[in-house]
Amino acid sequence: MARLKKETVFPLVKGVLDGELTRAEFDELTNLRPGGYEYWRRKYKKESGVNRSFVPVRRKKVANLSGSIEVILGRGVQIKFSKMVPAQYLRELIR
């Protein structure tokens, strides 16, 4: 059996990650054992710099909280605010 080259396998791994291929289709196209996909996925992510398990979150300070919010608690308790309220206020309210 000939060794697979990354030029051949990387597009297939990308296809699985993008949802264009299933793992079963990948296995069929490459004739690899079940752990083969994981090996190539790690190699692809390392070389391409792709890490989809981490999503950076950036927060901007909101000076003006506008909008409205409705909180529905158990037993039918319903609280409506005409303006947005800070999360800390809601935490204290629920206690």
State pLDDT tens for residues 29-42: 899 887 889 999 98
Owning domain of residue 31: 6-48
pLDDT at 83: 80
Query: Is 24 among the domain residues?
Result: yes
Mean pLDDT of the chain: 81
Closest CA to 95 of 69, 68, 73, 70: 73
> Is the domain of 42 the same as that of 73?
no
Question: Would residue 1 count as lying in a domain?
Answer: no
Residue 64's pLDDT is: 58
On whether residue 80 sits in a domain, the answer given is yes
In a domain, 58, yes or no: no
* pLDDT band for position 63 (cuts 50, 70, 90): low
**Dist CA 25 CA 17 (whole Å):** 13
Total number of domains in the chain: 2
pTM, two decimals, is 0.51
